[in-house]
Amino acid sequence: MYMFSVQLALIQRQMILMSDKSSKIFGIDLGTTYSSIAYVDDYGKAVVINNSDNIPVTPSVVFFDGDDIVVGEVAKESSKLYPSEVVSFIKRAMGEADYFFEYDSKTYRAEEISSYIIKKVVQDAENTVGEKISDLVITCPAYFGINEREATRKAGEIAGYTVRQIINEPTAAAIAYGLAESHDERVVLVYDLGGGTFDITLIEIKPESISVICTGGDHNLGGKDWDDRIVAYLAQEFQDKTGSKEDILEDPDTCQDLLLIAEKSKKILTQRQKTPVAITHGGEKIKIEFEREKFEEITTALTERTIAFTKEMLIEASNKGYSDFDEIILVGGATRMPQITSRVEQEFNMKPKVFDPDGAVAKGAAIYGWKLSINDDLIRRVEKKTGKSIDQTKEGVGLVSLNGEVSEEIVSETAKEMSEELGYAMPAIEGSMVKISDVTSKSFGIVVKNVKLEEHVFNLILKNTAVPVKATKDFYTAVDNQDTVLIRIMENDTNEQTAPLDDSENIGTAVFTLPQGLPKDSKILIYFDMNSEGRLQITAEEMTDSRTVEVTIETKSVIQGEELQIAKERSQSLIVH
């Protein structure tokens, strides 16, 4: 989904160029259940930074405690006593237009709550490393759509940071893996099962590039679902043993208690065959022996879903000429469950490797951020040396001649100077030029009418297409002097040119303000331009006189306008504990 070469958002790059030295960019794994932050230290090693509790992962749990916001382990423990004041799994609500959390007569969107988590991990990291953090690379599931990605970016901005890039979690893991392991060419299947999301991605790793071939998954499938099954089972056991027909999960305190018990039990059963569990409700207490065999029985369906997604993705990959892979790596805390390793091995006849389940994504994001900052510096120096501007929109920019005016020798020379000055090894500088290509995890199109005047979606950009990518479509005005055209932009999971309207998600409406005096049937050319980050830009051109058409995109799925302003102001005055 993300083509990383030397392309950066224009504004961000300008800001960097203004400073003499590029700022350090930190990588954040913003997880559904746990979040972490990492950076590349002076020795070129990616390191996860411990939080204020000296633990590398921080629970993505937010507790609204009067005027204070508490994030992390304390918030998690508080959920037992104050279930209505604690928010968990907020990542699952990102990009949902109608979700909000209400506290003390104020409403909070998912982006704002996520910003508190980001703020907490960054603050703790600042205390540890002893420096101010301003720039971030934040990861998200590969299977996030445009709204969810935009919401993630907004969360970073609300927290007061510059979000340099949003990258996919499996891609980040592959970056960390590619650098940690040998430099052979190989195709790797990345099975990323986190706390709330599942991504399955096929990635080709070469010494000079890391390319995503295909991706799939479900951002509503993760370790939390395994916990939920345990909770449902324990509630049923309580009913069976006490003879009560009451649904004990109606009680928020009991429900929260069971959720914590479920998570603990799941972790214990990773190491042991059974664990004792006590369930207390309404003055009654029962004890049961919860066995791994039972746990696997009640969660088989979830594991099978991940295998089904994987098989589906591999079919798509085979259509692109990739019918085999060399390795399987497991990423994400939930892959620690023995049933995952054994089921994956059983299905694909290959022993998977568990690769740094808690740290790989954050480290990959940090490495990516580090590459960004090295590249920033390199480009700045080349431009200063030559007095020329490097075209950021060109693909494949690296140590190759640019615009025919900057020679490879100058770039190499500049890289060497940089290496000597900053102390980085030359391979590290050259390594920052490794190309990282991604694909889009969704198809994007617009609503059109067929010959029967029935509405459906015409996909301009198909799922699993390498990004950046452009596509165009013709439209014709319906009447004389038409002044606007409304285009509904849709996102779906099909791999076909057309998709039913019911199967597609409306991610925004593009309003085209047309030039005056256009006759009926005037041709309007619409451009879809998706960049390496997966951000979609839409432009239009009126073909009669080649005039540009102004386009604005309206979407309610992501915080914006007044709501965004309020959120930013609240964040500025807030200290997150």
Structure tokens at 312: 């589906």
Q: Count the site residues for other proteins by CB under 8 A.
A: 59
Site for other proteins in 126-145 (CB under 8 A): 145
- Residue 149 touching other proteins (CB under 8 A): no
- Residue 300 touching other proteins (CB under 8 A): yes
Residue 400 · residue 15 · CB < 8 Å: no
The Cα 402–Cα 387 span in angstroms is 13
Phi and psi dihedrals of 118, rounded to 5?
A: -60, -45
- Residue 348 touching other proteins (CB under 8 A): no
In the list 206, 305, 388, 535, the residue contacting other proteins (rule: CB under 8 A) is 305
In the list 220, 273, 472, 498, the residue contacting other proteins (rule: CB under 8 A) is 220
The Cα 487–Cα 508 span in angstroms is 9
In the list 126, 181, 312, 383, the residue contacting other proteins (rule: CB under 8 A) is 312
- Residue 308 touching other proteins (CB under 8 A): yes
Q: Compute the least distance from the CB of residue 352 to other proteins, in Å.
A: 20
Residues 6+ apart with CB under 8 A from 471: 460, 461, 527, 528
Query: For the purposes of burial, counting CB atoms within 10 Å of the CB of 560, is it exposed (0-12), middle (13-18) or buried (19 or more)?
Result: middle
In the list 176, 434, 490, 567, the residue contacting other proteins (rule: CB under 8 A) is 490
The Cα 450–Cα 110 span in angstroms is 37
Q: Which residue has the tokens 């013709």?
A: 474
In the list 421, 503, 521, 545, the residue contacting other proteins (rule: CB under 8 A) is 503
The Cα 446–Cα 460 span in angstroms is 8
- Residue 214 touching other proteins (CB under 8 A): no
For helices 110-129 and 146-158, what crossing angle results, to 10°?
Answer: 50
Per-residue binding string, other proteins, 241-260, x by CB under 8 A, is ----x---x-----x--xx-
The stretch near other proteins (CB under 8 A) out of 84-92, 385-393, 478-486, 565-573 is 84-92
The Cα 310–Cα 261 span in angstroms is 30
Nearer Cβ to other proteins (501/525): 501
- Residue 100 touching other proteins (CB under 8 A): yes
The Cα 489–Cα 133 span in angstroms is 36
- Residue 337 touching other proteins (CB under 8 A): no
Q: Compute the least distance from the CB of residue 472 to other proteins, in Å.
A: 22
The 3 state secondary structure assigned to 484-515 is: EEEEEEEEECCCCCEECHHHCEEEEEEEEECC
- Residue 455 touching other proteins (CB under 8 A): no
Q: Compute the least distance from the CB of residue 493 to other proteins, in Å.
A: 5
Per CB under 8 A, residues contacting other proteins are 84, 88-89, 92-93, 96-102, 107, 145, 216, 218-221, 224, 227-229, 231-233, 235-236, 240, 245, 249, 255, 258-259, 262, 294, 297-298, 300-302, 304-305, 307-309, 312, 442-443, 490-494, 499, 502-505
